[in-house]
C-alpha cells in the first residue's frame, strides 16, 4: 500500500475516505480538532486518550468523535 492510499471509515455516522497512514491522533488533527478535547469511540469502545497516537485507523473502522467546546 502506498503512502497516499486511502481507506473508507465511518466517521460520526458518515462514510469518509481518509489517508491509510493515519493514527487516531493524526486523524483528529487532520480534522482540525485538539486531541485533548476529543473523546473517541472506536468500533464501539472508548479509546483511552493516551492510546490515540498508537492506534492505527483501519479500513471499515467506525469512529465517533465527541468534541468538547467551552462557552459561557
pLDDT digits (tens, 9 = 90+) for 3-40: 569 999 999 999 999 999 999 999 999 999 999 999 99
* Whole-Å CA distances, 24 to 57, 70, 71, 72: 6, 23, 26, 30
- The two beta strands, 62-67 and 45-47, are unpaired
pTM: 0.87
Say what the pLDDT of residue 49 is.
Answer: 95
Q: Looking up cell 473517541, which residue turns up?
A: 40
Q: For residues 30 and 22, give the distance between their C-alpha atoms in angstroms, rounded to a whole number.
A: 9
Strand runs labelled E in 1-72: 6-11, 14-19, 38-42, 45-47, 62-67
Residue 67 banded pLDDT, cuts 50, 70, 90: confident
Superfamily classification of domain 6-67: Beta-grasp domain (3.10.20.30)
Amino acid at each position: 500500500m502506498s503512502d497516499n492510499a486511502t481507506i473508507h471509515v465511518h466517521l460520526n455516522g458518515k462514510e469518509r475516505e481518509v489517508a491509510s497512514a493515519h493514527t487516531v491522533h493524526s486523524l483528529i488533527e487532520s480534522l482540525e480538532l485538539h486531541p485533548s478535547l476529543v473523546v473517541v469511540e472506536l468500533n464501539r469502545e472508548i479509546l483511552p486518550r493516551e492510546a490515540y497516537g498508537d492506534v492505527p485507523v483501519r479500513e471499515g473502522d467506525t469512529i465517533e468523535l465527541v468534541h468538547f467546546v467551552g462557552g459561557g
